[in-house]
């Protein structure tokens, strides 16, 4: 087999069924093998490599599995880097596969080479694992190690770089079986300390982060909350790990309701969260209660706040261990009816009309991809989510242009689910060429573009800072005609008077559609 064939066989062994990519000469041997394996691995061509990374991210977040994108080296990698940076901050397992010039050019200045770039140096800050493949015999081990690393601990992006001569060379090599990585289990000593800490508390408060979502530990989280009668708040990246109509759910952390809950608590149980800037008020938040922290990444334990007990373990496995230890064990419940009262306060929070219409119209298991814009910000606290992987958002990197391509990735992962992307006019146009991708593959995504002809989320800050605006006002196309020019169906609504009925109509269609919401 050629190196290209070996590489694709290795991907198949790891369970890869979907790739988002842009072809290029460096990777022709891979594409030749993908063509021969097109029944096992589907390749989706993108219109920009940044879209490929965002699509792989949407695929990864919605499934909990690894999303794969394929680009040429140099400008292909730099274009994809924004999506990789987003995935890095969001703890999303996105694998970038890219080419490289023949290995005999190794010692030459890459800036003088065709598509030249020192990709290892460029991408190291936004990847957890990198493999540089120079010879054909290195391919199986490189793929095996990469998937093992990505399936171990806290998920992050990775890079595999393939030299052209490694892909054209022939060899007879064994293909490694699927590498499921390592899922650490809580050691007996730490588990005993954690159970003692919980038993000593009367009012534990649970903060659930992306680690709960990634490990798909929703059932175990709900069981723990029930055992402790404890309220649960999620981080932005943890949203969806507990159904927001659960009697224990208080929505996203640092709301007025969750502040009350944490002030009344006597123990914080932090599950798979890194205590990022959003949840901590730029780390001004003080934690006076004892902290029990569980995370698959040992470097996160006590990194921002000192944990009385820290457990490095897969969150789902650790929750099972905790629940088993707490089951049938008598303990004092200091929350009583207060958990229900907090829940009622959360339920009484009003929703903006657009978000309310979205939630009422979309099925419970529908996937919403949210771009960076004013209405998107309000979706985080107000759009209720009932299943993990059904809310795609950029709370840390805050990457404009995320919604459309990540929705494409999610729709490909779940062809029978409804998928909606919502974006502002500014963010949508950043990745709008991939509307062609959605139409090409007949994906019934609904794209909502909120059009006010300006960068509204920036406007307020400029007015406050210097009393005027610069670079805020936009020149937009006719979004309905724009969508129709790609072969999508276009709708326009003025204000929100007929938005819900239009959304219902779009969701019932079997084609890509775009709804322009003209802000009044």
Alpha-carbon span 453 to 431, nearest angstrom: 17
Q: Are residues 152 and 263 in the same domain?
A: no
The per-residue pLDDT for 491 is 97
pLDDT tens across the length of the chain (520 residues):
999 999 999 999 999 999 999 999 899 999 999 999 999 999 999 999 999 999 999 999 999 999 999 999 999 999 999 999 999 999 999 999 999 877 776 777 777 677 778 899 999 999 999 999 999 999 999 999 999 999 999 999 999 999 999 999 999 999 999 999 999 999 999 999 999 999 999 999 999 999 999 999 999 999 999 999 999 999 999 999 999 999 999 999 989 999 999 999 999 999 999 999 988 999 999 999 999 999 999 999 999 999 999 999 999 999 999 999 999 888 889 999 999 999 999 998 888 999 999 999 999 999 999 999 999 999 999 999 999 999 999 999 989 999 999 999 999 999 999 999 999 999 999 999 999 999 999 999 999 999 999 999 899 999 999 999 999 999 999 999 999 999 999 999 998 889 999 999 999 999 999 999 998 7
- CATH assignment of the domain containing 497: 3.40.50.970
Residue 173 lies in a domain: no
Q: Are residues 158 and 53 in the same domain?
A: yes
Q: Write the secondary structure of 126-163 as one string of H (helix), E (strand) and C (coil).
A: HCCEEEEECCHHHHHHHHHHHHHHHCCCCCCCEEEEEE
Q: Are residues 242 and 375 in the same domain?
A: no
Q: Are residues 39 and 147 in the same domain?
A: yes
Quick check: helix, strand or coil at residue 315? helix
CA dihedral 322, 328, 332, 337 (to 10 degrees): 90
Q: Considering its fold, how many domains does the chain have in total? A: 3
* Helix and strand counts by DSSP (H, E) for the chain: 22, 18
DSSP assignment letter at 192: H
Residue 181 lies in a domain: no
Residue 176 lies in a domain: no
Q: Would you state the structure tokens that stand for residue 243, as one six-digit string? A: 């159904």
Give DSSP secondary structure letters for 273-309: ----HHHHTTTT----S-EEEEES-GGGTTSSS--SE
- Side-chain-side CA neighbours of 463 within 13 Å: the count stands at 7
Specify the long-range contacts of residues 451-458, CB closer than 8 Å, at least 24 apart: 451/424, 451/425, 451/476, 451/479, 451/516, 451/517, 451/518, 451/519, 452/424, 452/425, 452/518, 452/519, 453/425, 454/425, 455/424, 455/426, 456/373, 456/374, 456/424, 457/372, 457/373, 457/374, 457/377, 457/424
Residue 71 lies in a domain: yes
The per-residue pLDDT for 63 is 97
- CATH assignment of the domain containing 322: 3.40.50.1220
Quick check: helix, strand or coil at residue 2? strand
Q: Are residues 326 and 394 in the same domain?
A: no
The per-residue pLDDT for 350 is 86
Residue 412 lies in a domain: yes
Residue 473 lies in a domain: yes
Specify the long-range contacts of residues 393-396, CB closer than 8 Å, at least 24 apart: 393/236, 393/237, 393/239, 394/86, 394/90, 394/370, 395/90, 395/235, 395/236, 395/237, 395/276, 395/278, 396/89, 396/90, 396/236, 396/237, 396/276, 396/277, 396/278
Give DSSP secondary structure letters for 377-427: HHHHHHS---STT-EE--SSS--TT-HHHHHHHHHHH-TTS-EEEEEEHHH
Alpha-carbon span 479 to 153, nearest angstrom: 43
Q: Are residues 507 and 372 in the same domain?
A: yes
Q: Are residues 373 and 336 in the same domain?
A: no
Which of 313, 328, 347 is a domain's end point? 347
The per-residue pLDDT for 43 is 98
Q: Are residues 192 and 60 in the same domain?
A: no
Domain, as residue range, for 447: 353-518
Q: Are residues 341 and 360 in the same domain?
A: no
Residue 132 lies in a domain: yes
Q: Are residues 503 and 398 in the same domain?
A: yes
Q: Are residues 440 and 412 in the same domain?
A: yes
Which of 318, 347, 376 is a domain's end point? 347
Which of 107, 133, 168 is a domain's end point? 168
Residue 467 lies in a domain: yes
Q: Are residues 416 and 338 in the same domain?
A: no
């Amino acid at each position: 087999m050629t190196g290209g064939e070996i590489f694709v066989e290795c991907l198949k062994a790891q369970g890869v069924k979907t790739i988002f990519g842009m072809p290029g000469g460096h990777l022709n041997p891979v594409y030749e093998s993908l063509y021969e394996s097109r029944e096992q691995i589907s390749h989706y061509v993108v219109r920009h490599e940044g879209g490929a990374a965002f699509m792989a991210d949407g695929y990864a977040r919605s499934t909990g599995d690894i999303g794969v994108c394929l680009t040429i080296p140099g400008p292909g990698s730099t274009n994809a880097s924004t999506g990789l940076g987003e995935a890095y901050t969001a703890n999303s397992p996105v694998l970038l596969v890219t080419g490289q010039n023949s290995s005999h050019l190794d010692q030459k200045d890459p800036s003088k080479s065709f598509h030249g770039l020192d990709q290892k140096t460029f991408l190291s800050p936004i990847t957890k694992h990198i493999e540089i493949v120079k010879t054909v015999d290195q391919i199986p081990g490189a793929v095996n190690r990469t998937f093992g690393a990505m399936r171990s601990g806290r998920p992050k992006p990775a890079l595999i770089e393939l030299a052209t001569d490694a892909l054209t060379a022939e060899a007879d090599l064994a293909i490694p079986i699927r590498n499921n990585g390592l899922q650490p289990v809580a050691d007996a000593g730490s588990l005993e300390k954690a159970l003692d800490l919980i038993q000593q508390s009367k009012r534990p408060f649970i903060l659930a982060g992306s680690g709960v979502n990634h490990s798909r530990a929703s059932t175990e989280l709900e069981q723990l909350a029930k055992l402790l009668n404890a309220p649960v708040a999620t981080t932005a990246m943890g949203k969806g790990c507990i159904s927001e109509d659960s009697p224990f759910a208080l929505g996203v952390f640092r709301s007025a309701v969750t502040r009350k809950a944490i002030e009344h608590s006597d123990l914080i149980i932090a599950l798979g969260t890194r205590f990022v800037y959003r949840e901590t008020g730029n780390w001004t938040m003080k934690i006076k209660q004892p902290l029990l922290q569980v995370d698959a990444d040992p470097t996160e334990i006590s990194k921002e706040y000192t944990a009385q007990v820290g457990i490095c373990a897969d969150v789902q496995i650790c929750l099972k261990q905790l629940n088993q230890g707490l089951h049938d064990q008598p303990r004092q419940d200091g929350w009583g009816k207060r958990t229900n009262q907090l829940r009622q306060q959360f339920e009484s929070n009003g929703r903006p009309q657009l978000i309310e219409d979205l939630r009422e119209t979309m099925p419970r298991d529908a996937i919403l991809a949210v771009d960076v814009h004013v209405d998107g910000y309000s979706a985080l606290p107000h759009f209720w989510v009932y299943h993990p992987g059904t809310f795609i958002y950029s709370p840390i990197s805050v990457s404009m242009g995320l919604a459309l391509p990540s929705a494409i990735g999610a729709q490909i992962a779940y062809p029978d689910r409804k998928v909606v992307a919502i974006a502002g006019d500014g963010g949508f146009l950043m990745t709008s060429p991939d509307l062609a991708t959605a139409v090409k593959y007949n994906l019934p995504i609904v794209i909502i573009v909120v059009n006010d002809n300006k960068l509204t989320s920036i406007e307020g800050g400029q007015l406050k800072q210097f009393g005027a605006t610069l670079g805020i006002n936009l020149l937009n196309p006719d979004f309905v005609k724009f969508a129709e020019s790609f072969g999508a169906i276009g709708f326009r609504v003025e204000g929100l008077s007929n938005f819900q009925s239009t959304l219902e109509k779009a969701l019932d269609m079997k084609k890509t559609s775009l709804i322009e919401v003209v802000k009044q």
